[in-house]
Copies of this chain bind each other. A is one copy, B any other.
Amino acid sequence: MTSMDATVAAPAAVFSVQRLVRFSDCDPAGMVFYPQYFVMLNALVEDWFTEGLQVHYADFLGARRLGLPMASLQCDFKAPSRMGETIALHLRLLRQGRSSLTLGVQCTGVAPQASLRWSAQAVIVTTSLAHDGPIPLPPDVQQGIARWQQISAGDRP
């Protein structure tokens, strides 16, 4: 295995959450207003950090004064989601850079309406409010990712 390979996440590791589509998420057509999907995406990253990587997100942004801004986002919307549906968001780590993480995210319904709603590729960067710029991925984030990938791999046959 080359050092390049080492930065490529095991594709098996997936972090998923489910969520009710609420009245407040929906637009006059009764469908999720798409900026709300990115509020959900932010919550997904929050939960992935705190629960998946065991890096407390609120401390990361608060006490530690680090940041996780979005650097780029690409999203294809395939089908609408409607008020009252339960949807699932699935996060995979596609690439681990020196100071960035490339995430692949899929939003689906849940059975029996498990169709794809949208899929996105998002690059988030680790920054420091003190330096006002990118910093290398902190060690606890690196270790959290390695542990999460191992555990997720262990979940699967």
Q: Taking beta carbons and an 8 Å cutoff, which residues of A are in contact with B? A: 20-24, 26-31, 33-36, 38-39, 42-43, 46, 56-59, 61-62, 67, 69-77, 80, 82-85, 129
A61 touches B24 (CB 8 A): no
Contacts of A28 in B (CB 8 A): 23, 26-30, 61-62, 83
Asked whether A59 lies within 8 Å of B35 as measured between CB atoms, the reply is: no
Contact of A77 among B26, B58, B71 (CB under 8 A): B71
Chain B proximity of A106: nearest CB distance (Å): 15
Using Cβ atoms and an 8 Å threshold, which residues of chain B touch A26? 27-28
- 18 new A-B contacts, CB < 8 A, other than A23-B57, A35-B36, A62-B83, are A22-B46, A23-B42, A24-B33, A24-B43, A27-B28, A29-B67, A30-B62, A35-B35, A35-B42, A58-B85, A59-B84, A69-B77, A71-B76, A71-B77, A72-B74, A72-B75, A72-B76, A73-B75
**Shortest distance in angstroms between A86's beta carbon and chain B's nearest beta carbon?**
11
A42 touches B29 (CB 8 A): no
Chain B residue numbers with a CB within 8 Å of A38 are: 34-35, 38
When chains A and B are docked, how far (Å) is the Cα of A69 from the Cα of B74? 16
